[in-house]
């Protein structure tokens, strides 16, 4: 009986492959901050609003939390990629004197919806302690 009393349950940090709960939360926030930036800017200034949050978290936590460093860079790269695609589609619409918007707007909606789904999946996975890789992202920041 004395041996059973000394057994302690595993800590919350050990539950997800040894990654501490605080580190998993910051990684999740890195992904979700892109959504918050998109909501705050209401879609306008997509290029700044959506990757400002992951950038700030990466700059704050990259030295002290390796998992957050990895996931914030991944979120940052993905959101830079999405912003670049949206900018190109917008320019296509403008340079074709509005006719290109017939194709660009539906594509923007589909890409925005896909980005929303991928960001939510990434946030859930990172909160579980799993490093998530977006399916299409140009990895500019390594």
Q: Who wins on pLDDT, 6 or 67?
A: 67
- φ and ψ of 140, to 5 deg: -80, -35
- In angstroms, the CA 127 to CA 71 distance is 11
Residue with tokens 């579980």: 128
Q: How confident is the prediction for the chain on average, in pLDDT?
A: 85
Report the 10 Å Cβ neighbour count for 19: 21
Q: What is the pLDDT of residues 76-85, one digit of tens each?
A: 999 999 989 9
Annotate the chain with DSSP letters as a single string: -HHHHH--PPPGGGTTTT--HHHHHHHHHHHHHHHHHHHHTTTTTHHHHHHHHHHHHHHHHTTT-HHHHHHHHHHHHHHHHHHHHHHHHHHHHHHTTTTTHHHHHHHHHHHHHHHHHHHHHHHHHHHHTPPP--SS------
Q: What is the pLDDT of residues 28-59, one digit of tens each?
A: 999 999 888 877 776 655 566 788 889 999 99
The band of 12, judged by pLDDT with boundaries at 50, 70 and 90, is very low
- In angstroms, the CA 41 to CA 141 distance is 24
Rounded to an integer, the average pLDDT of 88-97 is 93
Q: Who wins on pLDDT, 12 or 68?
A: 68
Rounded to an integer, the average pLDDT of 4-13 is 46
In Å, the largest CA–CA distance within the chain is 81
pTM: 0.83
Q: Residue 45 has what pLDDT?
A: 54
pLDDT score of 66 more than 70: yes
pLDDT score of 89 more than 60: yes
- In angstroms, the CA 33 to CA 123 distance is 10
pLDDT score of 74 more than 80: yes
Q: Residue 114 has what pLDDT?
A: 94
Q: Residue 99 has what pLDDT?
A: 93
Rounded to an integer, the average pLDDT of 2-11 is 46
């Amino acid at each position: 009986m004395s041996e059973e009393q000394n057994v302690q349950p595993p800590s919350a940090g050990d539950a997800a492959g040894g990654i501490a709960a605080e580190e998993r939360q910051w990684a999740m926030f890195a992904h979700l901050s892109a959504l918050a930036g998109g909501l705050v800017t209401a879609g306008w200034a997509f290029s700044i609003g959506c990757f400002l949050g992951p950038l700030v978290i990466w700059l704050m936590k990259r030295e002290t939390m390796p998992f957050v460093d990895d996931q914030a860079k991944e979120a940052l790269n993905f959101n830079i990629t999405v912003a670049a695609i949206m900018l190109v589609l917008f320019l296509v619409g403008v340079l074709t004197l509005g006719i290109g918007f017939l194709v660009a707007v539906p594509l923007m909606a589909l890409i925005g919806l896909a980005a929303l789904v991928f960001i939510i999946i990434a946030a859930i996975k990172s909160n579980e302690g799993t490093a998530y890789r977006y399916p299409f992202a140009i990895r500019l920041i390594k």
